Amino acid sequence: MSAPLAPTLLWFRQDLRLADNPALAAALQRGGAVVPVFILDDAGEGDWSLGGASRWWLHHSLSALDADLRSRGSQLVLARGDSATELRRLVKATGAGAVYWNRRYEPAVRARDAAIKAAFTNEGLDAKSFNSALLFEPHTIQNKQSRPFQVFTPYWRHCLALPMPEPVEAGKGAVTHFPAPAKWPASLENAALGLLPAIPWDAAFGKVWMPGEAGAQQRLKQFLRGGAVHDYDAQRNLPAIEGTSGLAPHLHWGEIGPRQIAAAVKALGKASGLDPASNGARVFLSEVGWREFAHHLLFHFEHTPAKPLRADFERFPWAEDAGGVKLRAWQRGLTGYPIVDAGMRQLWATGWMHNRVRMITASFLVKHLRLPWQHGAAWFWDTLVDADLASNTLGWQWSAGCGADAAPYFRIFAPVTQGERFDGEGRYVRQWVPELAKLPDKYLHAPWTAPESLLEFARVKLGETYPRPIVDHAEARADALAAFKALRGDIIERDA
């Protein structure tokens, strides 16, 4: 009788789902037992170990994945420490003959994973990686000059001309049982990973989010079948309504993959009679395309999480912020600009901020306060449940005007106008800045312009119950433009 096939270690990372999971499909196809593993490896993330909100998400997502695995006769083995060391220990403990995982694209992680693959292959192990996270992996896409794209529209046009990849399944129908090893290796308890915050600032997260594969599918269904996708192009800019999918944290952790989203959009007509070719569906898919583009840029321009893509911006004359007073006011939603403050408070309370308001708050930090975009990126990294190195870097460099396809630096979002335009009835500001709730719409986005009698009626005492603006818009705008001109002059002088 031949010996049973040695087990496969299935190394879960940002692919915390069972459907459309090519590493899992390959492990099942290989045969033998499958040992699902997650390793918390902070050092392996380089400068970007998980932020607080991501840790909260991960804790719950791991619980959900473990429950899903247990319902299939399996379980999730948890470990903490250096990935290579822990994998090697688990290979030894289980007698595994293969280690399979799905790829990630962050520079430090790529380097780590490449070293692990090379070492294991050298040692005779079957070490393989797969694509679960993207429609189009960055190394497969290039422009006509064989270089990476730096502008979204031609990038996405190029991608859409390629065959749209379909979800990868392990076999026909859902696999209801995963072959288990004769003996399970020791696992840490989820709580021992210490992912939940010591101070419970995450109190409201659970009311908004349901981490895990089931939560992701529920969001997708709600967004597509509920019909929001139909009006997405019109509604996606209005922060007071649920006009977007809320899928970003699920996508980041791989609880759902873009192949599944693309397939669900394509099937819209059949499922609900909605038009998959509608403007809403097309724009929604193109937003998923922005996520792809973000990964493309991070892959090809590894320095961008820390430094601007456009090197000239490295010398941008940022403003002084003695004692970090302005940064703190921004972080806490106390800038005196209601739409900015509403966004920053939504972020703190729920771990998420509407995209339009992300653009407004980011622009305010970088242009009105003239503080380095890296400070803002670091705060978002810590507080967003969807914190993602590729998308966060792209969003911040775009807002700062120093990245690919960026809004020009001199285009400065005016917070009052933005508020009036995208939150005209003030529902968003009233929800997140309740101390202004009684102000009439006309003054809600600029309370300092309200007559004293109205402020009194609305029980607003500027400087006491709500701050006065920490900078004057017109002055801040002029200063930002002057700083930009000085930099541009510098560039012109140097290039001359």
Query: Which two three-digit tokens encode residue 352?
Result: 């998420």
CB atoms within 10 A of CB 22: 23
For ligand FAD, the closer of residues 268 and 359 by Cβ is 359
Partner residues linked to 332 by β-bridges: none
Residue 228 touches ligand FAD, criterion: CB under 6 A? no
The separation between CA 364 and the C-alpha centre of its own chain, rounded to angstroms, equals 20
Out of 254, 336, 395, 415, the only residue in the binding site for ligand FAD (CB under 6 A) is: 395
Check: CB of residue 283 under 8 Å from CB of residue 233: yes
| 263 to 208, 224, 277, 487: CA distances (angstroms) | 26, 12, 13, 46
Q: For this structure, is 396 an active site residue?
A: yes
Out of 247, 327, 342, 444, the only residue in the binding site for ligand FAD (CB under 6 A) is: 247
| Residue number closest to ligand FAD, CB atom | 395
For ligand FAD, the closer of residues 193 and 220 by Cβ is 220
Residue 17 touches ligand FAD, criterion: CB under 6 A? no
- Non-local (6+) Cβ contacts of 86 within 8 A are 37, 39, 41, 79, 80
For ligand FAD, the closer of residues 36 and 258 by Cβ is 258
Options 355, 420, 435, 448, the catalytic residue: 355
Of the listed pieces 27-35, 121-129, 243-251, 298-306, which binds ligand FAD according to CB under 6 A? 243-251
For ligand FAD, the closer of residues 245 and 350 by Cβ is 245
Least distance in Å: CB of 262 to ligand FAD? 12
Binders of ligand FAD among residues 257 to 296 (CB under 6 A) are: 287-288, 290-291, 294
Check: CB of residue 247 under 8 Å from CB of residue 221: no
Q: For this structure, is 373 an active site residue?
A: yes
For ligand FAD, the closer of residues 82 and 287 by Cβ is 287
Q: For this structure, is 425 an active site residue?
A: no
Residue 209 touches ligand FAD, criterion: CB under 6 A? no
DSSP category for residue 37: E
Out of 155, 396, 443, 484, the only residue in the binding site for ligand FAD (CB under 6 A) is: 396
Options 184, 201, 318, 448, the catalytic residue: 318
x-marked contacts with ligand FAD along 139-168 as a string, rule CB under 6 A = ------------------------------
Residue 392 touches ligand FAD, criterion: CB under 6 A? yes
Least distance in Å: CB of 19 to ligand FAD? 18
For ligand FAD, the closer of residues 96 and 134 by Cβ is 134
Least distance in Å: CB of 349 to ligand FAD? 16
Query: Which two three-digit tokens encode residue 496?
Result: 């001359």
Residue 15 touches ligand FAD, criterion: CB under 6 A? no
User: Could you give the CA distance from residue 389 to residue 298 in angstroms, rounded to a whole number?
Assistant: 8
Residue 244 touches ligand FAD, criterion: CB under 6 A? yes
Residue 418 touches ligand FAD, criterion: CB under 6 A? no
User: Could you give the CA distance from residue 356 to residue 239 in angstroms, rounded to a whole number?
Assistant: 7
Options 45, 287, 302, 420, the catalytic residue: 287
DSSP per residue over 69-137, as a string? Answer: HHTTT---EEEES-HHHHHHHHHHHHT-SEEEEE----HHHHHHHHHHHHHHHHTT-EEEEE--S-SS-
Options 330, 352, 373, 381, the catalytic residue: 373
Binders of ligand FAD among residues 349 to 378 (CB under 6 A) are: 355, 358-359, 362
User: Could you give the CA distance from residue 193 to residue 109 in angstroms, rounded to a whole number?
Assistant: 20
DSSP category for residue 368: I
With CB under 6 A as the rule, give the number of residues binding ligand FAD. 28
For ligand FAD, the closer of residues 222 and 355 by Cβ is 355
End-to-end CA distance of the chain: 79
- Non-local (6+) Cβ contacts of 409 within 8 A are 367, 400, 401, 402, 480, 484
Check: CB of residue 230 under 8 Å from CB of residue 274: yes
**C-alpha triplet 273, 279, 282: angle, nearest 5°:** 90
Active site residues: 287, 290, 318, 355, 373, 396
Which stretches of the chain bind ligand FAD, using CB under 6 A?
236, 244-248, 251-252, 287-288, 290-291, 294, 355, 358-359, 362, 380, 384, 386-388, 391-392, 394-396, 399
